[in-house]
Chain A
């Protein structure tokens, strides 16, 4: 059975040989034109004059477009229609596209795009959280407030008060393949190749820009060279620009951002300032928390509201908090529009409560792991416990938004990793080591993850599939998910192969195509395999039942006696190869294609009130990280990581472990070396890998032990698996906490290590710990 097998990525051979094609690798028709944007050079201002004559006169330039040249919609926004393709009179951030160059080569377009002369009257630029708060520059009018119980009273009555501020930095996706699109004019329509996690949104935006109904635009996504959320909405501009250019010229148009342009134009992970006030009793039990989230959203709304919501939804992480108040300020700034990034606010929300735990442990003098345990949600009690609690569920199972936590397993999972990572002995050994090393200090920490699975915009939790069995027994299938490296197509192929009892090689997963499966949701929220896998299985089941009914007739048995296994169809005494059975069904005029459709059950969510069941289930994991710091320079390394993570019954353990390792390292980058810096004029100074440092090979933990938690999902997900895309990123909070522990080993005071923990931040924390 292919489900559960550690099969290689379906494009692995193409990847290593260099033959897997990305959009910029596709052969293009003769006469293909190339596009580049001319960008705003200031953060906020009114355009008073645009002299584009030098742009038009530059070698190779075919056309130059400004907002008024656009024939239909000038809108590439994901949500609120507040994001024009080309600026309309006012620019809102440094790097905003103002005009579009169409030229006969990529380099000609890039060169010409720098020749625009634009005069502005500068307006005050709101760049920081403080400036936005002072100016009242925000989305949704005012803060979103969720309250559960009376947090103020709980904190006031508590034995211990823990308060502070923690800021989490922005993060650039740094997908290796930059944003790119290619539009090919078709008869009364447009075909678009886009490096996008959301082909349906590309379709909708292109259609609106061309004055077409959706059916006239076909969007195809074979693969992306990485996405991480950065291609959920940020590819819209390129696809629309190419489509507009292609319709106007009748020629194919391609656009790809140079890396510096990519980082200057596109959105990043939201940076947060989290203010916390928490009350603990004498035993370290949390009584109430008051969080204020200040979220820098950038110049357009994009996906900021659901991102900020998800941060609020993860403000509890693994802990039962009897009273909680969260105030979430969604601030509008004249910077890149912050967007989706793996975890989608979850990491920031979780960072807040884990900081509270770290700080409380320091203040109360209780071991941080012990403190965490004392506050865990009630354990669900093994995988055989009933999936739903009885009516009188204890309060200790309910989140601050009213969803009972019925599958909690971190008690057992943390016990297990504590043992397998030899946590206690290592902690003691490290304490001894630290006492005899004055220059270098080591630290170790264990942090848990509980991450909610489902889109919080409930209607997005749907997926479609189209499965086609050809007369030779080969299977081609399409589904709504996109492949960005996460191995989704391989997992889906395994689901289909299992449904028909055939070898994985007999199944081909086609490029994602809006003309095959319509109205798809973004491949996001870790939902790809959950939603599309189920839709594909349902389509396969339909076809299999048709074949089974036919073969039952042929063999003279009842349909239940027909089964599919090992590439064969068994019916009573008889056996057919799958191909024979299919050929026979074809001759009997039986339909061998089917659609499948799946909608996640049982979701109910009122985002205004912050109440309901936004998540179908939770994914869990825990990590132990060990680090070393240099107390003279702040330099630091991860020495070892141990991870135990729950992916339910894995569809493909190799791919799942890959997601866990990769997510952890990406999260570690966010919290250590990756620092985005803007200057006072709103210019992003770190706009290339020379200045923005994602982890390199030697930054990974030297010892890196990853294991999967046994058992299946309690909920009826695809083969009882669990989503894996985002949750492991947050395992890296253990890296930051281990660094904090190493800093704390330098002196008696609370080090309050900042994020990202650059050498500079670590050195500052060391000096705070010492009281210097």
Chain B
């Protein structure tokens, strides 16, 4: 299989003989482009940040957990491609002027992350840097640099990729399918029908969507990928469509795309997604991947369950749907047969009382200690329908059915102070781990019910809302 992409403006071809080779290793070891650094090899520090562009735009990604096949038809820009000593990118110059580097090891990744945000006109610099760790500066001078570069024009080189992609029709170049010397085979289907047919024939294939978790199997567990199907070319899986009652989200929709799509209909969901990993991860990770990965502490499932999500599964041409809470059978076990894949998820289009809360040790780029989502409906001031789901409280994301039952019929504006016991003891028996003790999980989860009530009442409940 031949992978074709632009590397710092140059058409580059790569013969994919081993689908497990990461972009970062290839850049550093085969291309001698050592500006991108390895500091964690798991997409958590951002030192390897590079910029990926296609017809939908440009975004920062982590090179360390990106596999070469994921580049096909796209344009890549590394730190070496955003500026040089004669003409540094405005963020690079600002980082010098504002003393934004100390040891310098995180700096190339920070420069690229800021350059991508600068190109996209984003001015929330903390958000742009949520996936980039710096251990030296305390970030203050980096933010000063981002602020001072914000007004500078985007340099021409940052626009070149979009132009070149349009001019060369790179995206249409075939990867040559799965034949040739590839061993084991890798496949890049062009649409869901392709994918369905392939999976019917090769049901044991590994599905690579964003690869942001699967990449760690390669980089940390050192497992070869085996037969792999890369999903990023299936444009028909990347659609969000809205009807009067429901929103249908393709399984291949990235978390970044979902965040934008949820801003209007479900701002509480969008707010939670802002804390889903980092910009780099959100750019690659997909909703289907977040669900199918099956982690009990995945960020999206509790909210989806609260929104009555149904999972649309497909095997060959056979389609079925299942409620998301029923899709999870046990720890990392799902109601999905070999050869079957998630095509889409549908959720309620309206849920004005939806709120979602994620608790973690750090606000940005952290994994939930627990996550709660509440979606209550009321008729005449009394709760008529309750969907409350938690992550991190059981082996799977799950509804708090006993609590839900107790809430029905209660006055909506008085649930915290009302007669209902807010105990979750009958619903959950959480475990202790390094993210938090069972006792904390239980106490905090029950407290989040109180937070929800106060939140609905308009009281300030988030430390993020407070300024000095």
Contacts and interface: CB of A to CB of B under 8 A. Distances in A.
Given A15-B101, A22-B105, A760-B436, A662 B136 contact: yes
A176 B39 contact: yes
B463 A637 contact: yes
Categorize the interface residue count of chain B.
Answer: 35 or more
The B interface, classified by DSSP as helix, strand, loop or mixed, is loop
Nearest to B449: A632
A629 B444 CA distance: 14
A17 B102 contact: no
B78 A18 contact: yes
Interface stretch (A450-458, A463-471, A599-607, A653-661): A653-661
Interface string B30-71: 001011111111101101000000000000000000000000
Interface stretch (A96-104, A357-365, A437-445, A534-542): A437-445
A693 B361 contact: yes
A73 interface: no
A766 B183 CA distance: 59
B397 interface: no
B461 A439 contact: yes
A696 B363 contact: yes
B365 interface: yes
The winner among A8, A175, A258, A693 for most chain B CB atoms within 10 A is: A693
Interface in B231-257: none
A385 interface: no
Interface in A144-196: 173-178
Contacts of B139: 665, 695-697, 700
B454 interface: yes
B126 A697 contact: yes
A18 B80 contact: yes
A12 B137 CA distance: 13
Contacts of B338: none
A755 B225 CA distance: 41
A14 B88 CA distance: 11
Nearest to B461: A439
Interface in A101-124: 107, 110-111, 114
The winner among A9, A635, A665, A688 for most chain B CB atoms within 10 A is: A635
A677 B141 contact: no
A698 B126 contact: yes
Contact of B106 (A114, A176, A259, A640): A176
A226 B135 contact: yes
A112 B374 CA distance: 48
B88 A16 contact: yes
Contacts of B104: 9, 11-12, 14-16, 20, 223, 225, 485
Contact of B103 (A19, A223, A442): A223
Contacts of A758: 361, 436
Contacts of A107: 25, 222
Contacts of B127: 698
B102 A9 contact: yes
A526 interface: no
Contact of B41 (A258, A486, A698): A258
Contacts of A15: 95, 101, 104, 107-108
B85 A17 contact: yes
Contacts of B379: none
Contacts of A555: none
Contacts of A700: 138-140, 143
Given A689-B44, A700-B139, A176 B88 contact: no
A628 B464 CA distance: 9
Contact of A633 (B84, B126, B143, B451): B451
The winner among B44, B47, B79 for most chain A CB atoms within 10 A is: B44
Interface string B447-461: 110110010000111
11 contacts: A114-B222, A176-B105, A176-B133, A438-B459, A440-B461, A629-B463, A639-B467, A661-B140, A665-B139, A690-B42, A695-B139
Nearest 5 pairs between A and B by C-beta? Answer: A18-B35, A485-B103, A225-B105, A15-B104, A665-B138
Interface of A: 6, 8-9, 11-22, 24-25, 27, 107, 110-111, 114, 173-178, 223-228, 258-260, 426, 437-440, 442, 484-487, 626, 628-630, 632-637, 639-640, 654-655, 657-658, 661-666, 673, 675, 677, 685-686, 688-691, 693-700, 702-704, 706, 758-760, 763-764
